[in-house]
Structure formats: structure tokens, C-alpha cells
Amino acid sequence: MAKKAKVKKQKSIEESLWDSANALRGTVESSEYKHVVLGLIFLKFASDKFVNRRDELVAEGKDKFIDMAEFYTMKNVFYLPPDARWSYIKDNSKQDDVAIKIDTALFTIEKNNPSLKGALPDNYFSRLNMDVSKLSSLIDTINNIDTNTDKAEDIVGRVYEYFLAKFALKEGKGKGEFYTPKSIVNLITEMIEPYQGKIYDPAAGSGGMFVQSIKFIESHHGDKKEVSIYGQEYTSTTYKLAKMNLAIRGISANLGDVPADTFGKDQHPNLKADFIMANPPFNQSKWRGENELIDDPRWAGYEVPPVSNANYAWILNMVSKLSHNGVAGFILANGAISGGGEEYKIRKKLIENRLVEAIVILPRNMFYTTDISVTLWILNNNKTERTVDKGDTQRHYRNRKDDILFMDLRQSGIPFEKKYTHFSEDNIKDITDTYHIWQETRFEEEYKNVPEFCYSANIEEVRKADYSLVPSKYIEFINRDENIDFDDKMTELKYELADLLRKENESKAALLNVFKELGYEVEL
């Protein structure tokens, strides 16, 4: 019987683009070429939008206006002069000076569109001295992205998101901080439901929190015009990634006039946000000088966060910017839930001020930059009984002023890219359902503490635990020792295993020496 020919899986546009991007490696570092690739994707997107709008004007009999920028910006389309259009780059892609032409195009687009100020790669192409044939090949592949085929698919946004994730995976530890894994962003969004009002991210990265917030609004039939977005990003190249990411999706945002340190140069000092979402740097040391920011208004009513660790500085920055009914969801290293010293005093006040609503331990290996388990915090400025419209949903919140929900998700998640973990859609639904059932009046009889998963603790229990926010202090454990910190235990076991292997190798070496003295050559 003849063997069936294997059907070759057709590559997606994302995979084809990634292969072309990888062809640039060797002459350009991954941390650099992401700006090359994403800059070109943006250029193709902007050009397609421009051409569509120009064709509209022609169809409407407004030919004389096709070179007037205001007739494009009025429709949220970037105006592109002739030498900044994709067709010009494509026609010149085989020329030796194509890199200069790309740099000039990006510079011209930014100059002609004030909303893109500081957004686009600056002289990357000519400075990096890339192989012309490889760059030309990448241009050919990007040329295959058809942004007009299916508007609902958001193909450019999809490609951009794919590349951000792939670059973060490639760069790994010590880099890739510009990207928060998508399933974590989805979890935060589904828990705090940023439906309308002001949304803020003090460590905006590449803008993933904002993108998912808008997706949440659209999926619940809301109006994205009812939200305004504010953020800040310290790293110049990441600031550009965020501005491009948002521009590609037509999302208007105030990321500050320049990339800047949130602590040293707060560009939104008077902001009161309805929703805050963040993944700030973990355990950041020397974030301020010993005698700097002592009287900063963001710590008003609390101790000054220690110089040695910025975790609580990030927390208090967010607390200071919460509106009366504001909710914040953010990620921090586990140390913040149990630290001593000034951190203990701040944590105690946060708890006594009834701000802490939920503490959620995430699984290990969710981040591309670190393998540690981290914590999702939910702070809520109004944990009293109230009703809130969430688009196609109405939430009737019960009074949880004196309660904190603890969740342990370390047994949750599914494998991702071999060595990582992420949440499936079912995981996210189970987690968010538990949280919302705990919150809502209509489910008052339905919420139940579940061993090894969740526990609702009242303020008296937290006081007895000396204001520790470690979930294992409260959640009942049946099959595991509740007093074990499993991250520490895993580290301990790794050392024990290494010690056993060392002893085994020493024993083998000793045995080989015995055989050698007896005149035998033996392999073990």
C-alpha cells in the first residue's frame, strides 16, 4: 500500500516574517533587530492606511485634497509624503542605500505627525550596517502582509504582538522586560475589568496592558472612546515600541513627553486613575539616592520606601494615583508579601486602610526574564457595597471592606514553549469566576474556600498572622505542608540533588582509582 504523502503545514504570516527576521541575525543583535522589524511593520501598516484614505478621497471626488495632511489626520490616519510610503521603499529595496531611505521615511513620518513624536526607530537601519540582500528579503516578506483582507482580524496588531513575544523569548533573562506574557495581562484585565475611565501603567513596557484593556472593552461591546490612557516608560527604545504598538491599533495614549523614570520625573503628578495595571521591575535597588524623594507626596501617610528595594515605592506610587473607586492590579516579586522593616510598616497600613483586596500567587516560569514565582496584587479603593456597570454586565459588589481573598495558582497553568508556563482560557475563567463570585452579592451563598486554592480571610485573621500576605498562611493545605515555602523548598531540593551527584561522582572517581591500582582500566 502506497504511503500517504505528508501534508506540509503552511506557515502563517507571523512564522514567515520571523524566519525572515532571523536571517538578519549575525550582523544585528536581537535587542536591536526587533526595532528594525517592528519599524518596517509599522511603515507597511501606516502606508496601507494612507493609501486606503487617499482612495476614499478620490472616490468622493476630492482629488485636490489628497496631499493635504489634515484630510488624513481627521480620520486618524498618518499623512505620508511620497518618499515615506511603502511603495517607495519596496521599489528601492534592492538599492545599496535602502537603509538610508527607510530611516528617512520613518523620520519624515514622525516629523509630519506630532502624535508620533519620539515613537519611531531613529537611524537604526543605516547605523546597523545590515546586509542589503537580507534586508531586501525582509521587505519582500513584510510586503505580503495585507492589512485590508480582514479588518476584524487586526492582522498587523496580531503580527506585532507575536513579534514582541518572540523577541522577549529570544532575549530571555536580563532582557525582554518590555513584554509581560499575554496570559498574565489577560488575567489582570479579566479580574479588574477596566471598562471605562482613566487607565494608568507606571511601567508601561511595550503597552500590552493598554492593548488588552481595549480588547476587553470591545469584547464586552463597550466604547473605547470612554477610556483615556496614561503611562510612563523609562527606557527610550521600549517607549518607542509602546508608541508604535498603540499607534498600530489606533489607540490614543499619553505616555509622557519623553521616556523618563517614574520616580525621578513623574509625568502624571495629578492623575487619579480608575484602573491601574502594571508589571514594574522586580526588587529594583538604588532606585533613589539616600536623601532623595524623602518628602515625595506619593508616600504621604506612609513610611518612605527603602532605597534597597523599590517594590513598595511602586505600590505607593499606584496608591497615590487611585481615584475614589479606583482598582489596581499589578505584579511583584513574592518578597513584597512578607518583607520586614519599612516594608512591613507600609504593608500594615495598606491592610488597615482596607486597600488590599486580593493576593494571588502565580506559577513559576511564567516570565521569560526570571523563573521565580511572583504575586498578583489587587488593590481596591472602595470595597464597600455598590453597583457598577461593566458594559454588557452589571456587578453588584458586596461589602468586602474587612476581607482579603488569597489564591494559590502554583498548581495551575499549562506548558508553553517547552520550558515556560502560561494560563489557558479555561484557567483564566476559573480564576476570575472565583474572584467575581467572592466579590458579588448575587453569589453570596456560592463562594466557598477551597483547600490548596483559595481562602477569604478577615482582618482579624490577618492581624493574628502579623500582617503577612503569604497565601499559605491562610489557605488550607491537605496534601502539602502549609508551612513550606515551595519556591524555597525547590531551591533546597536542587542543592540536595547537586550534592548527591557530587558525592556519586566522587565515589566513582575513588572506585576507578582502586581498579587502576589493581591494574585494570574500567569505565563506569
Q: Say if CB 353 and CB 314 are below 8 A apart.
A: no
- pLDDT (tens digit per residue) in 467-484: 999 999 999 987 655 555
Inter-axis angle of helices 155-171 and 13-22, nearest 10: 40
284-297 b/e (C-beta count within 10 Å ≥ 16 → b): beebbeeeebeebe
Between 142 and 350, the more confident residue is 350
Task: Name the DSSP letter for residue 402.
Answer: T
Q: Given a cut of 70, is residue 211 above it in pLDDT?
A: yes
Q: Residue 30 has which C-alpha cell?
A: 536581537
Q: Which of 248-252, 334-338, 492-496: highest mean pLDDT? A: 334-338
Q: Residue 79 has which C-alpha cell?
A: 499623512
Q: What is the mean pLDDT of residues 285-311?
A: 95
Q: Residue 498: what pLDDT?
A: 64
Domain boundaries, the chain: 13-170, 182-450, 485-524
Q: What is the mean pLDDT of residues 135-157?
A: 72
DSSP letter for each residue of 210-248: HHHHHHHHHHTT--GGGEEEEE--SSHHHHHHHHHHHHH
Q: Given a cut of 50, is residue 7 above it in pLDDT?
A: no
CA pair distance 287, 245, nearest whole angstrom: 28
Q: Say if CB 169 and CB 247 are below 8 A apart.
A: no
Inter-axis angle of helices 132-142 and 13-22, nearest 10: 170
Between 305 and 39, the more confident residue is 305
CATH 3.40.50.2300 is right for the domain spanning 182-450: no
Q: Given a cut of 70, is residue 176 above it in pLDDT?
A: no
- pLDDT (tens digit per residue) in 413-446: 888 877 788 899 999 999 999 999 999 988 777 8
Q: What is the mean pLDDT of residues 271-300?
A: 94
Q: What is the mean pLDDT of residues 386-408?
A: 89
Lowest mean pLDDT among 29-43, 224-238, 388-402: 29-43
Q: Residue 462 has which C-alpha cell?
A: 490577618
- pLDDT (tens digit per residue) in 272-283: 999 999 999 888
Q: Given a cut of 70, is residue 490 above it in pLDDT?
A: no
CA pair distance 210, 276, nearest whole angstrom: 10
CA distances from 26 to 30, 130, 301 (A): 9, 10, 53
Helix, coil or strand: residue 406: strand
- What fold is seen in the domain 13-170? Ferritin (1.20.1260)
Q: Given a cut of 80, is residue 383 above it in pLDDT?
A: yes
Q: Given a cut of 70, is residue 399 above it in pLDDT?
A: yes
Mean of the per-residue pLDDT values of the chain: 85
Q: Given a cut of 80, is residue 89 above it in pLDDT?
A: yes
Q: Say if CB 35 and CB 28 are below 8 A apart.
A: no
